[in-house]
Amino acid sequence: MPSSRRLLVASAKGGVGKSTTALGLAAAFAERNERVLLVDFDITSRSLDMLTGASDMTVRDIADLITSDDPAADIRRICTHPFEKYPELSFIAACSPERLSELSRHSEKTEEMLLREAVVRLCGCGDYDRIICDTGGGCRIPAAVADLFDFTVIVSEQSMTSIRAAEYAASCLERAGARQMRLVVCGFDLTSVRREKRAGVIEMIDRCALPCLGVVPYDRKLQKAQDNGRLPDAGSLSAAAYSNIAARLSGEETPLFCGMGALYRRRALAL
């Protein structure tokens, strides 16, 4: 598996599981005792501060990184550590759109240039084993920074609109210089493949023309955990899926539905 120290999570469509994937991967790498930095680059509809339960703790954000005179020294001050269980999981929240446009006006740089500078500052910090950046729906921001990452995760659900958005994001980010790109299927529902003839995994790989990095099954308990700013239980389907993806990104050969009980036994149907 190619290097994935700096991971970008993207799709041209909103609501397909990007933030869930960024957070799920951050937790999975932290579980493997890696030092992880999770960053929210979704300026218009940031959500990771809420999904991590850090919205009350978050007093600094990405704007503080952009304006810092000494980012290497300041980065620890800007981060929060939302999970007691994972003290080595650091988080930087997105700033508000108003704050970013204000910085843009003052500096006479575009918002894309400012966010690019933020990524360069993050990359210059050697304190982390993985840096994982979430983005919002659309390709404007991901395309401005994609070449600075060594790995891009394109997220899609099984719906045709989501698959088309993943396909579009992949071609757009390839043109923008993204290096390695892989597909992560989110909210996968095996029954819908059989009963409603929704896309199976092979069809999604085919349509997006991307190798598949992992499949995250639909997990009812995940939404409840997110509503309370908690991570899903370690034994849940989604936690198993993100743990498998982290293992694959670490070079381990892990079967697609490893640790997922019934889905593992019925895996032939999912394809």
Residues in the chain: 271
3-state secondary structure of 184: strand
Q: Which residue is nearest to Mg ion (CB)?
A: 19
User: Is residue 216 involved in binding ligand ATP (CB under 6 A)?
Assistant: yes
Number of Cβ within a 10 Å radius of residue 120: 12
**CB–CB of 182/211 below 8 Å?**
yes
**CB–CB of 131/7 below 8 Å?**
yes
15 binds, among Mg ion, ligand ATP, none (CB under 5 to 8 A by kind): ligand ATP
Of 19 and 238, the one with the shorter C-beta distance to Mg ion is 19
Which positions ≥6 away from 27 have C-beta within 8 Å? 83, 86, 89, 231, 239, 242
Which phi and psi (to 5°) does residue 198 adopt?
-75, 165
Say how far apart CA 174 and CA 218 lie, in whole Å.
Answer: 29
Of 140 and 267, the one with the shorter C-beta distance to Mg ion is 140
Kindly tell me which residue out of 1, 5, 14, 192 binds ligand ATP, with binding defined by CB under 6 A.
14
Size of site (CB under 6 A) for ligand ATP: 21
- Among residues 162, 133, 165, the alpha carbon closest in space to that of 25 is found at 133
N-term to C-term CA, the chain: 22
Work out how close the CB of 127 gets to ligand ATP at its nearest, in angstroms, rounded to a whole number. Answer: 26
Kindly tell me which residue out of 193, 219, 242, 248 binds ligand ATP, with binding defined by CB under 6 A.
219
Kindly tell me which residue out of 80, 90, 152, 226 binds ligand ATP, with binding defined by CB under 6 A.
226
Q: Residues 169 to 198: which contact ligand ATP by CB under 6 A?
A: 186-187
Say how far apart CA 142 and CA 62 lie, in whole Å.
Answer: 16
Of 187 and 200, the one with the shorter C-beta distance to ligand ATP is 187
3-state secondary structure of 172: helix
Q: Residues 67 to 126: which contact ligand ATP by CB under 6 A?
A: none
User: Is residue 15 involved in binding ligand ATP (CB under 6 A)?
Assistant: yes
**Residues binding Mg ion (CB under 5 A):** 18-19, 47
223 binds, among ligand ATP, Mg ion, none (CB under 5 to 8 A by kind): ligand ATP
Work out how close the CB of 94 gets to Mg ion at its nearest, in angstroms, rounded to a whole number. Answer: 10
Q: Which region, left, alpha or beta, applies to residue 153 given φ > 0 means left and ψ of -120 to 50 means alpha?
A: beta
Of 19 and 90, the one with the shorter C-beta distance to Mg ion is 19
Which residues would be at the binding site for ligand ATP (CB under 6 A)? 14-20, 42, 45, 47, 136-137, 186-187, 216, 218-219, 222-223, 226, 238
